[in-house]
Amino acid sequence: MSEPAAGQAPEGPLLELQDVGVSFAGKGGSGLTAALDGVSLSVARREIVAVVGPSGAGKSTLASVVLGLHRPDTGRAVFDGSPLAGLNRRQLRRLRQRMHLIFQDPYSSLHPGRRVAWLVGEPLAVAGAPRPQRGPAVARALAEVGLAPVEAFLDRHPHQLSGGQRQRVALARALVGRPDLVVADEPASMLDASLRAVILELVRRLRDRHGASVVFITHDLALARHIADRVVVLDRGRIVEQGPADEVVLRPRHPATLALLEASRRARRSLHDGPAPAS
Amino acid sequence: MSLAAEVVEPRSGERARRLSGTARALGIAGVALLGVVVLAALGASVLAQHPPERIVAAPFLRPSGQHWLGTDDIGRDLFAQLVHGARVSLSVGLGAAVLALGAGTAVALVAGYRGGWWDMVLMRLVDLTLTLPLLVLVLVLTAFLGRGLAVSTVLIASVLWARPARLLRSQVLKVRRFGHVVAAEAMGASALRVSLTHVLARLVPLLSSQLVRAATVAVVVQAGIAFLGLGDPDRVSWGTMLFFANASNAVLTEAWKWWVLPPGLALAALVLGLALAGYAVEEWAEPRLARNAPHRSRRRRRPVEEPRPQAAGTALEIRSLRVRFGGTRPVEAVGGVDLTVRRGRILGLAGESGSGKSTLALAVMGLVPEAGRITEGEIMFGGRDLRRIGRANQARVRGRELALVPQSAMNALNPVRTVLAQVEEAARLTCPPAEARRRAGDLLERVGIDPRRHEAFPHHFSGGMRQRVLIAMALANEPRLIIADEPVTGLDVVNQVVVMELLESLVGELDLDLVVISHELPLLARWADDLAIMYAGRVVERGPVERLVREPRHPYTRLLFSSFPDLEGPRGQVGTVPGEPPDPARLPAGCAFEPRCPCALPRCATERPELDGAEGTCSAACWLAGDVSVRTLFVDPAGVADGDPG
C-alpha cells in the first residue's frame, strides 16, 4: 500500500542505536547505576522489533532514548540517517513528529477535556497540517480502528467512551500521522483480553498498510513471539540475545532469556497445557 | 516500568461534575448575593437619581423620599454613593484578581514546566513576595504612586499573585507527568503548545477557585485602603463612604444607620457572596470533596430470620450477593453472586475490568465505596453473616481475620515511611508495640525482603518487592482468609512467578485460605485450585481448576483463554473476545454475554441462564453448557486445537 511519508532514503536502517549508554544517579545518591550499557540495535524499515526483558532491564530508558526524550551519556541514536545528538530543539521536535509513542495505559494519554476529533487530530496539528486536511484524515483513522459510524464519536469526550473505545481512540492517534516509527511501551500488560487483540492487530496494520517500523516493548516472551519479526532480549542494561522471533523464543541460548521463558511457562497455563506442575 | 507510570491520574474527577446538595445550595445563595451587587453596579445610573460625586443638597440630611439614605457631610447623596460604590468594588476586585491570576499562572507555567534556573529564580521571587506584609505594602506604595483606581488595582494584584503562583506551580509539576502531556511531548509538540493546550487546561479548576479567593481579598483590601483615606478621590467607593462617615463621627450619632450600615452590609454581602460561590467552585473543581458532604442514607431493615448456617469445610460462603451503586445511572455491579471458598484451597476470581470482581472483594471486606450498597445476600465467614454483625464487629474482623492485599502496589504504600514502620503499624492492631516491631521484621523476612533493607522507603523497591511488602502487611495479624486483588498486574513475568509462589507457600505454611483476583485467566488456571469467572457482575462459570481447564463449558471462558498468546503453537495467532463488555447501567435482558457470543441462540437474548450445578461441581451459566453436541460447535478463533479429551 502506501509508502512511508518521508522515504527519501529507503536504504539503511530507520533507527540505529550505536553503543548507547545511560546512567542514573544511584539509589540513595551513591554512585551511578547503568540503565543502558553499550546497547547497539538497528531497526529496519517495515520491521517489528520486540524488546523483551524483566523490569529494571532498561526497556523504558531505551524507549526514551529512541524518542530523543533522553540524551544518552555515551554512544548515539541515529534516526533515518540523522544523529539525534546533533539536532537542535526544533529539529528534534520535527523528527519526533515522525514517531509515535503508545503508552502502557493508552487512556492516560488522552486529554480529558478534549473531544475525539481534536484528540485524533492532535498529531496532525502538532506537525502543522492545515485544519481542512485534518478532518478527512481523522475520519479515516477512526474508521480504520473500527469506530463506526465516525460521526457518532467525533464530538465525544474520553469519559463518554467505553474502555475499548478509548483504547481505539488512542490507537487512531498512532495511525493518523502516518509515523515512520512507533514505539509501544508495554501496551498490553494492563489490558483486558479483548483490547490486547486490538493492539496486536493495530501494530500489524501499522507495518503492513502504513509501512511503519515498530519497537514493541514487553516483558512477555509469548506476546513478543506472536507480534515481532525480531526479538531483542535486554537484561540489566545490556542486549544479551537477539534474533528472529521463533529462534529466540523457541531456542534461547542466554541464561536471562531462559529465565524469562521458564517464568512464562511457570506463570501460565492455557487450555491445551497439561496439569499444573507441582511446586 | 513505563514512561508515564509516575503519576496515576485521579479518574473520579473526569466523570460528569455534579455538586452535592449543600454545595449547590450555598453556591446558589452566593450567586444570588453577587447578582444583587452586580445589578446595583450595572444599573447604578438608573437607580440613583443623583450623581454620587456632586453636592446635591444640604449636608447631614436624614433619609427622605428625595434622598433615600440622606446626604453626607457636604451634601452628596448617600444612596447614589452606595450603588456607584458597587462598581468600584467589583471592578477592583475582578480586575486585581484577573491580573494576579494571569501573572501567577504565567509564573507557574514557566517555573513548573521549564524548571531549572527559571524555577529557582521565580520561586525565590514568590517567597519574597509572600513574606512582605500585604496591606502595609499596598498602603506605602499607594502613597508613592497615587490613588487612582487603576493604580490600586495593579498594586493589589502585585501582592496577590504570589500565593496562586505557588499553588499553581505545584499543580504544574504534577500535571506535566500526566500521560497526555508526555504524549504531546513525544509527538514533537513545542513547549508553548504543550503548556497552553495540555497543562493550562488541567489548571482550570484550581485557577477558578483561586480567582474567587483573590477577588475576595482584593475587595477587602481596596475597601481597607479607601477607609484609611487613601482611596481614589474622584471615585466614591464603599471604603471612602466609611472614611467620610468616620471622619464626621457618624458612628457616634444616629446617622450610622444610613451612613455606616449600608456600605458595611454591601461589603459583607459581596464578600460573603464570593466566599459562598467559591465553595461551590471548589467542589466543582475537586469533585472528591462532595464525598465528605453530609448526606442522607436510606437503609432498609434487614430480614429477621436467621441465615442458613455456613457449610462445613468452607472458609467463606457468599450467597446471592448484590451490590448496587446509586446515582442518576444506577448500576448493579454485583448481581446475585454465589461463591464458596473452600478451606485450604486457592480460589481464582477472573474477569475483565468492570466485571464486578473487585467490588465483590470490597463487599466481603465491608468496604463498599460510599456511593454503593449491598442490597441483598449473605456473607458467611467464621460461622456468621458479616452483614449482620454491625459496623464495629466488621471492623474487628477486618485485618484480624480477613485481610485484603489491595490493587496497585505502586500506590498502596505510604511513600514517606519505611516499609518496616508500615508493617509494624499494621501489626499494632493485635500486638503490643515491642512485639509488633519484631513481628514486622519477621514477616518482611518471610516474604523475602533482606533485613538490611527493612528501613528503606517504598520508592527504593521494585514493583515485585512492594507487592511483597503489601502481602507482609496483610499477614500482620494472622488472618485466616486473604483476598489478593490483582496481585501481579503490572509486574513482569519473573516477579509474577515469585509473588504467586510466595502466596502459594503461605497458604500451605500458615493454613490460610486465599482468593486471588486477576484479569489473567491463564495465570489463575496455573495457580488456583478453584476458578470462578465473572462477567457483567455475575459468575458465569465456576469449578475445580482441572475440570475447568480440561473442558470449559461457557463460551466466554473459552474465548478468554484463547485471547492470551501462547509460547508454542503457530506464530501470529492470538484470539480475542469479540465486541465489548455491556454498559453496566443497561444490561441485556437475557444472557449478558449474548451480544458477543459466537454461538448464541434466540433464547439467549431473552432468558437469563443460571449456573447449572451445585457448589463444588463444575457449573456454567449458559443455555448451551449442558448440551455436549452443541458445545462442539463453539467457534475457536485462535485455532486452538479443539480436541479436548472427554
Q: SS3 for B574-610, per residue?
A: CCCCCCCCCCCCCCCCCCCCHHHCCCCCHHHHCCCCC
Q: What angle do CA B574, B579, B580 make, to 5 degrees?
A: 110
Cβ neighbourhood burial of B79 (10 Å; 0-12, 13-18, 19+): buried
Name which of B5, B179, B202 is nearest A109 (Cβ-Cβ): B179
Whether B546 and chain A come into contact, CB under 8 Å, resolves to yes
Determine whether the interchain pair B563/A196 forms a contact, defined as Cβ–Cβ distance below 8 Å: yes
Q: Cα separation of B211 and A84, whole Å?
A: 43
Residues of A in contact with B501 (CB under 8 A): 279
Give φ, ψ of B309 to 5 degrees.
Answer: -65, 155
Q: pLDDT band for position B398 (50/70/90)?
A: confident
Q: Rounded to two decimals, what is the model's pTM?
A: 0.79
pLDDT for position B646: 31
CA distance B202 to chain A (A): 8
pLDDT number for residue B289:
57
> How large is the ipTM?
0.84
Mean pLDDT of B235-264: 87
Helices (H) and strands (E) in chain B, counts: 23, 11
B360 and B323 in contact (C-beta within 8 Å)? yes
Q: DSSP readout, A162-229? A: -HHHHHHHHHHHHHHT--SEEEEESTTTTS-HHHHHHHHHHHHHHHHHH--EEEEEES-HHHHHHH-S
Dmax (CA) of chain B: 110
Sequence-separated (6 or more) residues with CB below 8 Å from residue B369: B325, B362
Structure confidence at residue B433 as a pLDDT band (50, 70, 90):
confident
Most confident stretch, B309-313, B342-346, B624-628:
B342-346
Q: What is the mean pLDDT of residues B385-395?
A: 87
How many CB pairs below 8 A link A and B? Answer: 224
Of B182, B496, B640, nearest to A267 by CB-CB distance is B496
Of A108, A259, A271, the CB nearest to B4: A108
CB B617 within 8 A of CB B551: no
| SS3 assignment, position B307 | coil
The conformational region for residue A21 under phi > 0 = left, psi -120 to 50 = alpha, else beta, is beta
What is the residue whose three cell numbers read 518487592?
B465
- The C-alpha of B350 sits at a distance from chain A's nearest C-alpha, in angstroms, of 11
CA distance B320 to B322: 7
Closest among A160, A175, A88 to A123, alpha carbons compared: A175
**Helical packing angle, B162-175 and B116-131, nearest 10°:** 150
Q: Which of A183, A59, A90, A271 is nearest to B545 (CA)?
A: A271
**Cell reading at B249:** 463621627
What are the distances in angstroms from CA B302 to CA A183, B378, B390, B546? 55, 11, 12, 39
- Give the N- to C-terminal CA distance of chain B in Å, as an integer: 43
How far is the C-alpha of A38 from the C-alpha of B477, rounded, in Å? 48
Segment A84-118, tens digit of pLDDT: 988 888 899 999 999 998 887 767 788 988 999 99
Using an 8 Å CB-CB cutoff, list chain B residues near A251: none
Task: Answer whether B189 sits within 8 Å of A93, measured CB to CB.
Answer: yes
Cβ–Cβ gap A60/B1 under 8 Å: yes
pLDDT in tens, A6-47: 444 457 899 999 999 998 875 544 567 788 999 999 999 999
